[in-house]
Amino acid sequence: MGVAPSSPHPAPDEALARLREHRPLVQCVTNAVVTGFTANALLALGATPAMVDLPGEAGAFAAVADGSLVNVGTPHAEQRDGAREVAAASRAWVLDPVAVGALPVRTALARELLAAGPAVVRGNASEVMALAGAGQGGRGVDALHGTDAARHVAEELARTSGAVVAVSGEVDLVTDGTTALRVHGGSELLTRVTGGGCSLGATTAAFLGVCAPLPAAVAAALVHKLAAERAAATAAGPGSFAVAFLDALASLTPDDVGAVAASRVVEAQQGARP
Amino acid sequence: MGVAPSSPHPAPDEALARLREHRPLVQCVTNAVVTGFTANALLALGATPAMVDLPGEAGAFAAVADGSLVNVGTPHAEQRDGAREVAAASRAWVLDPVAVGALPVRTALARELLAAGPAVVRGNASEVMALAGAGQGGRGVDALHGTDAARHVAEELARTSGAVVAVSGEVDLVTDGTTALRVHGGSELLTRVTGGGCSLGATTAAFLGVCAPLPAAVAAALVHKLAAERAAATAAGPGSFAVAFLDALASLTPDDVGAVAASRVVEAQQGARP
Amino acid sequence: MGVAPSSPHPAPDEALARLREHRPLVQCVTNAVVTGFTANALLALGATPAMVDLPGEAGAFAAVADGSLVNVGTPHAEQRDGAREVAAASRAWVLDPVAVGALPVRTALARELLAAGPAVVRGNASEVMALAGAGQGGRGVDALHGTDAARHVAEELARTSGAVVAVSGEVDLVTDGTTALRVHGGSELLTRVTGGGCSLGATTAAFLGVCAPLPAAVAAALVHKLAAERAAATAAGPGSFAVAFLDALASLTPDDVGAVAASRVVEAQQGARP
């Protein structure tokens, strides 16, 4: 691949190889709907999940975890305090602004957390636009906007916040404000399973344990899309798809990822703004 | 069919067709055990779930959701306040009185919520009887009584509360206090999976987004029974049944439902009380 | 068998037969990650789960349940009070000290609960050692120590606490401080699924409803290992393994268990300490 093993900017296949070797310890402060699926996705991928979100424990744990996720999907009072501890103590964490926009508690929390400096912000187009103050948010966890509609806002958000911004959708967009990469692939079935997006935030946090934010977000997006494709090939519906998706996260090899990375991860051209 | 497309009283097949077209936004204030399965059941069926139960968000969200569910299975303090917001703000919501009877916190909450006017009350026979003050409740979430034992109580509860009352069991009973319908079918395996009943409350809320309470409760009951039958035909046990049940919720077509609705949904005769 | 049907010390196959007949009512005060999987494991096995953890309800429910589980994996403030009610009211309960050691809130809670007299303590080697004050705990829910490394500590903990101590790992160890039994078998895939260990705490509580603590812990460990082996034989990865594990819990018969119990459950020799 032309990248030294110690580089913080590995290609996605090398990022996966590192993750499998190091089994990063990933803390999740996440919503009540997807805790089980998220932990299973991390275990399947090869990481070590720990759902430590309690005030008085979350901060100390963040300081030793290899990566942390803060997802504001069901931000009850105690968990909001746990989230603040993580934001203050973690070296490398992902903010997932689930359904921000019209809902006031999570929107205020997400903006407060954004100011604390996440390494990556991951959301769908509507969530990223709403977090940046550029839209009204989606319909629950559904995006009303396509990824490309959010590109300008995502780049601006990356520049002002210092975070890598990852916008997921039919095509994913990952940007640090200077470079913007599109990640192609995936399956529509992933939108028919709860936790598809939320688990992507968690696997991004896992990759933060083995590389820098931009390659971490790209590797996570690509691995999810490839696992979704593999699962969709055998699934009879959304139930069997979710099961096969976990199997695919476990069976995907660095070689599988390396074989398609160049064609699936493509730099977005400067003039191609909508 | 004989029912105009705009009628609030569609047959079950037309109700399902409408649901697939409109993808109703369904708010769930539900218990911690079944959040993931419930969201997946709604997604599989074709609805758009959102688990917004936080005080300060739940009421505002209820006002824009197409239907809401309030399930009192694990009613922690914050969620009780969220539930009260939904009851005050929603136009169309389902009350699921999980395990009411001997357990005092949820029993008091469920009676308070009942007074706020749900469109549908959905429970097993023991829960419906306990909510109405006519029994001691079940054994955890198990019903100790058959559906028919609850018929008189359910009809009386419907008349006094103004809600449609749906009693689930081997045969489901749905009544508005005047008409009582039995819905036949299903599989015993659905009782071996957690969330089988709770997800029925959620899909009833989804149907409330496209039709009136009585046809909504009938359509949800019938769709669950048909999906359970389809899943049981291939399942090797309760684990694979739960997966196949989600696949079946997605694959069931309005034609599948229409082909059996007349034989499965049968008016209960007046003199047939136990 | 040689054990009378009424004996509190049945062999594992008879314990399973009793469980299937009596369908014990099992209360779970457990963490937010595994509630659904745990309830499904209990239902698959043949028990009746009820996730009643609310202060004001948990104690009264514990008094009527056949067995209770207190798992400290995500011990939020309300649930801590619920756990205390269970410890005070239950006749037969299991303490699962998830990730105790460095995390202060759960560690203090687990030690307080231990003093209240659980019938069984179930954890991995690192958790048991940390609970006893003999180690720093694991890495999240991962054990850093093997079962045998914890044997001396487990036996001492059993003697001082009066609880049966069950240490799960590649080989499980169950001891009342006098007798120590090793339970062999299982699959590595069970460590790739969240809730594998936590559900073992719940099934142990289910067996407490039909027999004494030592045979309950042995029966639960053996049934989990046999179900895991059966599931691993057909699984394509951790997703399909979790599904097949639930199917296997349901399909395992007392005869299946009886056929291997003598070779799988072996008394640990006195001099064999590491």
Task: Tell me how far CA of residue C84 lies from CA of A41, C93, C162, in angstroms.
Answer: 33, 12, 18
| B3: pLDDT strictly greater than 50 | no
Assigned domain for B5 exists = no
- C-beta separation of B120 from B154 below 8 A: no
Give tens-digit pLDDT for B144-153.
Answer: 567 888 999 9
- Check residue B148 and give its pLDDT: 80
Q: Determine contact: A74 vs chain C, CB below 8 A.
A: no
Instruction: Please give the Cα distance from B249 to B45 (Å, whole number).
Output: 5
pLDDT band at A6 (very low <50, low <70, confident <90, very high): confident
Q: What is the mean pLDDT of residues C225-230?
A: 98
Give tens-digit pLDDT for A88-147.
Answer: 999 899 999 999 998 999 999 999 999 999 999 999 999 999 999 987 666 555 565 678
- C-beta separation of A132 from A97 below 8 A: no
- Check residue A3 and give its pLDDT: 43
Nearest to A57 among C35, C105, C238 (CB): C105
Assigned domain for C53 exists = yes
| C129: pLDDT strictly greater than 50 | yes
What is the CB-side half-sphere exposure of residue C40 using CA atoms within 13 A? Answer: 31
What torsion, rounded to 10 degrees, do the Cα atoms C205, C211, C214, C215 define?
Answer: -100
Instruction: Please give the Cα distance from A192 to A239 (Å, whole number).
Output: 9
Assigned domain for C52 exists = yes
Q: Output the CA torsion sign for B50, B51, B55, B59.
A: positive
- Pick the more confident residue, A9 or B140: A9
Which of B33, B76, B190 should be substituted to probe chain C, the one whose Cβ sees the most C Cβ atoms within 10 Å?
Answer: B33
Q: What is the DSSP secondary structure assignment for residue B8, as one 8-state letter?
A: S
Average pLDDT, chain A: 93
- C-beta separation of A232 from A238 below 8 A: no
Assigned domain for B6 exists = no
- Check residue C1 and give its pLDDT: 35
| C4: pLDDT strictly greater than 70 | no
Q: How far is B205 from chain A (nearest CA, A)?
A: 16
Give tens-digit pLDDT for C154-190.
Answer: 999 999 999 999 999 999 999 999 999 999 999 999 9
Start-to-end C-alpha separation, chain A: 33
Give tens-digit pLDDT for B26-58.
Answer: 999 999 999 999 999 999 999 999 999 999 999
- Check residue A228 and give its pLDDT: 98
- C-beta separation of B217 from B175 below 8 A: no
Give tens-digit pLDDT for C41-99.
Answer: 999 999 999 999 999 999 999 999 999 999 999 999 999 999 999 999 998 999 999 99
Q: Which domain holds residue C54?
A: 12-267
Cβ–Cβ of A54/C105 closer than 8 Å?
yes
We report the CATH number of the domain holding residue A226 as 3.40.1190.20
Cβ–Cβ of B75/C54 closer than 8 Å?
yes
Q: How far is A36 from chain C (nearest CA, A)?
A: 5
Average pLDDT, chain C: 93
Q: Please list every residue in chain A whose beta carbon sits closer than 8 Å to the beta carbon of residue C81.
A: none
Residue A25 pairs with which residues in a beta bridge?
A48
Where do runs of H (alpha helix) occur along B5-76?
12-22, 35-45, 58-64
- Check residue A5 and give its pLDDT: 56
At C69, give phi and psi (nearest 5°). Answer: -120, 135
Which of A52, A76, A240, A253 should be substituted to probe chain C, the one whose Cβ sees the most C Cβ atoms within 10 Å?
Answer: A52
Q: Please list every residue in chain B whose beta carbon sits closer than 8 Å to the beta carbon of residue C43.
A: 191-194, 238
Instruction: Please give the Cα distance from B27 to B43 (Å, whole number).
Output: 12
What percent of chain C clears pLDDT 90, i.e. is strictly above it? 88
Assigned domain for B256 exists = yes
pLDDT band at C117 (very low <50, low <70, confident <90, very high): very high
| A24: pLDDT strictly greater than 60 | yes
Number of Cβ pairs < 8 A linking chain A and chain B: 92
Q: How far is B30 from chain C (nearest CA, A)?
A: 13
Number of domains within chain C:
1
- Check residue A271 and give its pLDDT: 52
Q: What is the mean pLDDT of residues C220-246?
A: 98
- Check residue B2 and give its pLDDT: 39
| C273: pLDDT strictly greater than 80 | no
Biggest alpha carbon–alpha carbon distance for chain A: 48
Which of A243, A249, A256 should be substituted to probe chain C, the one whose Cβ sees the most C Cβ atoms within 10 Å?
Answer: A243
Assigned domain for A1 exists = no
Which residues does C71 contact at the CB level (< 8 Å), separation at least 6? C28, C29, C30, C31, C34, C96, C98, C198, C201
- For A:20-59, CB contacts with C below 8 A are 25, 32, 35-36, 39-40, 43-44, 48-54, 56-57
The SS3 assignment for A144 reads: coil
Cα Rg, chain C, nearest whole Å: 17
The type of residue at A251 is S
Q: Which is nearest to C231 in space by CA: C218, C213, C250, C259? A: C250
What percent of chain A clears pLDDT 70, i.e. is strictly above it? 92
Residues in chain B: 274
- Check residue B134 and give its pLDDT: 83
Cβ–Cβ of C31/A51 closer than 8 Å?
yes
Q: State both tokens at A270.
A: 């400067």
Q: Please list every residue in chain B whose beta carbon sits closer than 8 Å to the beta carbon of residue C50.
A: 99, 140-141
Q: Determine contact: C239 vs chain A, CB below 8 A.
A: yes
Q: Please list every residue in chain B whose beta carbon sits closer than 8 Å to the beta carbon of residue C32.
A: 32
Instruction: Please give the Cα distance from C217 to C120 (Å, whole number).
Output: 7
Q: How far is C86 from chain A (nearest CA, A)?
A: 21
Q: How far is C163 from chain A (nearest CA, A)?
A: 27
Average pLDDT, chain B: 93
Assigned domain for A4 exists = no
Nearest to C193 among A43, A51, A56 (CB): A43
Q: Please list every residue in chain B whose beta carbon sits closer than 8 Å to the beta carbon of residue C56.
A: 104-105
Residues in chain A: 274
Assigned domain for B239 exists = yes
Q: How far is C17 from chain A (nearest CA, A)?
A: 30
Give tens-digit pLDDT for B171-186.
Answer: 999 999 999 999 999 9
Where do runs of H (alpha helix) occur along C190-237?
196-208, 213-232
Q: State both tokens at B267.
A: 């008016």
Which of A76, A79, A124 should be substituted to probe chain B, the one whose Cβ sees the most B Cβ atoms within 10 Å?
Answer: A76
Q: What is the DSSP secondary structure assignment for residue A53, as one 8-state letter?
A: -
Q: How far is A40 from chain C (nearest CA, A)?
A: 6
Q: What is the mean pLDDT of residues C217-236?
A: 98
Residue A95 pairs with which residues in a beta bridge?
A70, A121
Closest residue in chain C to residue B99, using alpha carbons only: C50
